[in-house]
A and B are shown apart, each in its own frame.
Chain A
Amino acid sequence: MTARRDEILEIIRDTRSLPTLPGVVNKLQALSENRKSTIEEMARLVSSDQILCARVLRLVNSPSYGFYRVSTITNALILLGVNVIKSLALSSSIFEIMEKSILGLWEHSLGAGVAANVIARRLKLPEVEEISTAALLHDIGKVIIKEKCPGDFEQVESLMKARDVTMLEAEREVLGTDHAEVGEWLVRSWYLPDKLSEPVACHHDVARAEAHQVKTAVVHLADVLVKASGFGFSGDEFVPRIQPVAWERLQMTDADLAAIVEELEDKLVEAKNFSLEIQSADDGTA
């Protein structure tokens, strides 16, 4: 079983086998590590690749962030920060796969981003955009498993059907790992900061998070709330329990929960519209 886990880790390490990352993203990585580079330089770089630029703007304008009509990369960089734009540029090709082939998971991720945004604003947490981004990315490991190990993915699905277990349990049994760990490997291989990789890695085990427990707790709660509302489809329909440590870490009250669920209902209608718009736009160009 651990052999399979190592094989998957190898697949992730071999960056050539991953959904293509344009050269621009590597340059962006270099620019963001250089303290002397400016927002303008980065914006010019992202804008030089029209397709990447469009993909990033599409994600920035998704309801997960609650901004509307961000029309330039410069504005996006200023509003959301370099880290967020970098991770959106890195993951945009994976979201492209989701939008086309795994619509339910794309809607689940979008919904989790929206929920994380609602929770973070309600609790007046700092770095709302990073939290939303981590939530958008939280199930990215599932895409990799499905795309890179289709045989294993089928086994996971048949196991879920046969025994009525959650996707997480089925993954652990078939692969010896799970989508949270695979997602962590992927996000780390992109050198994204811990505040994004830790919530991805620990969204099913909040107690394991070290440096970013609050962000991890929000992503965990967002995942639970989106599943509770029945929006999108993450692989199985079972709502996991809210982990007590997450509840305590966020100092949530029942009143907070009620207010968040109420607000989320409206926001998810927006998210559905956004998803429909993207699908119809893609149909139009296809």
Chain B
Amino acid sequence: MQTIPIALAAPDMVLAREVRRADNPLGPPICGKGTELSESLIERLKNLGVKSLTVEGCPVEMEGMKGLDELLADLDRRFCKVADVPLMQKLKELHRLQIVRNSGGCP
């Protein structure tokens, strides 16, 4: 799955997470998981102020989009100065899990 700005959403993409109103993020979902997007639906979501969508697969090649290996190498480099600090290694592990989870579906 992939989270994309709504400007890049296109018909036939399928929602991987439910969508909630931007001004009421804890409220009920306005569009369920698994919904297929259409032009008119995207327009309505835009009008409701929705800024981003999480969709199935990896439909959008975003600029600077990196592969899993590259992302993990970047992570290692970012944390290279704090390799001996246990707390920072915990933080790094949280990010590693996040990167791996987000790359599910994106080769």
Kindly state the separation between the CA atoms of A120 and B57 in the bound complex, as whole angstroms. 34
**B49 to A238, Cβ gap below 8 A?**
no
User: Looking at the complex, which of A31-39, A139-147, A223-231 is the stretch in contact with chain B?
Assistant: A223-231
Q: For the complex, is A211 an interface residue (Cβ under 8 Å from B)?
A: no
CB distance from B23 to the nearest CB of A (A): 5
**B88 to A239, Cβ gap below 8 A?**
yes
Specify which chain A residues have a CB less than 8 angstroms from the CB of B92 in the assembled complex.
Answer: 228
Specify which chain B residues have a CB less than 8 angstroms from the CB of A261 in the assembled complex.
Answer: 91, 94-95, 98
Q: Which A243-278 residues have a C-beta within 8 angstroms of B? A: 247, 254, 257-258, 261-262, 265-266, 269-270, 272-274, 276
Interface SS of B by simple majority? helix
Partner of A237, one of B49, B78, B94: B78
Q: How many B residues have CB within 8 A of the partner chain?
A: 26
Specify which chain A residues have a CB less than 8 angstroms from the CB of B95 in the assembled complex.
Answer: 228-229, 261
Given contacts A230-B75, A269-B52, A273-B5, contact A257 B91 (CB under 8 A): yes
**B88 to A237, Cβ gap below 8 A?**
no
| Chain B CB within 10 Å, residue with most, of A69, A240, A269 | A269
Q: For the complex, is B65 an interface residue (Cβ under 8 Å from A)?
A: no
Specify which chain B residues have a CB less than 8 angstroms from the CB of A225 in the assembled complex.
Answer: 91
Specify which chain B residues have a CB less than 8 angstroms from the CB of A228 in the assembled complex.
Answer: 78-79, 91-92, 95
Interface SS of A by simple majority? helix
Kindly state the separation between the CA atoms of A212 and B74 in the bound complex, as whole angstroms. 34
Partner of B78, one of A238, A241, A270: A238
**A69 to B49, Cβ gap below 8 A?**
yes
Given contacts A239-B88, A254-B90, A265-B98, contact A230 B51 (CB under 8 A): no
CB distance from A213 to the nearest CB of B (A): 19
Kindly state the separation between the CA atoms of A266 and B23 in the bound complex, as whole angstroms. 15
Partner of A239, one of B52, B82, B90: B82
Specify which chain A residues have a CB less than 8 angstroms from the CB of B30 in the assembled complex.
Answer: none
Bitwise interface map of A from 65 to 84 toward B, beta carbon under 8 Å scored 1, else 0: 00011000000000000000
Q: How many A residues have CB within 8 A of the partner chain?
A: 29
- Chain A residue with the shortest CB-CB distance to B49: A68
Specify which chain B residues have a CB less than 8 angstroms from the CB of A68 in the assembled complex.
Answer: 22-23, 49
**A257 to B78, Cβ gap below 8 A?**
no
Q: Which B48-100 residues have a C-beta within 8 angstroms of A? A: 49, 51-52, 74-75, 77-82, 85, 87-88, 90-92, 94-95, 98
**A242 to B88, Cβ gap below 8 A?**
yes
Kindly state the separation between the CA atoms of A240 and B49 in the bound complex, as whole angstroms. 36
Q: For the complex, is A166 an interface residue (Cβ under 8 Å from B)?
A: yes
Specify which chain B residues have a CB less than 8 angstroms from the CB of A237 in the assembled complex.
Answer: 74, 77-78
**B79 to A239, Cβ gap below 8 A?**
yes
CB distance from B37 to the nearest CB of A (A): 17
Specify which chain B residues have a CB less than 8 angstroms from the CB of A265 in the assembled complex.
Answer: 98
Could you pull out 15 A-B pairs where Cβ atoms are within 8 angstroms? A68-B23, A227-B78, A228-B92, A230-B75, A237-B77, A238-B81, A239-B78, A239-B82, A241-B81, A241-B82, A241-B87, A258-B94, A273-B5, A273-B6, A273-B51
| Contacts beyond the supplied A230-B74, A242-B88: 20 A-B pairs with Cβ under 8 Å | A166-B81, A225-B91, A227-B78, A228-B79, A230-B75, A237-B74, A237-B77, A239-B78, A239-B79, A239-B81, A239-B88, A240-B82, A241-B87, A254-B90, A257-B90, A261-B94, A265-B98, A266-B3, A272-B5, A276-B5
Enumerate the 9 nearest inter-chain pairs by beta-carbon distance, A residue then B residue, closest first.
Answer: A273-B5, A241-B82, A273-B51, A261-B94, A238-B81, A241-B85, A239-B78, A68-B23, A269-B52
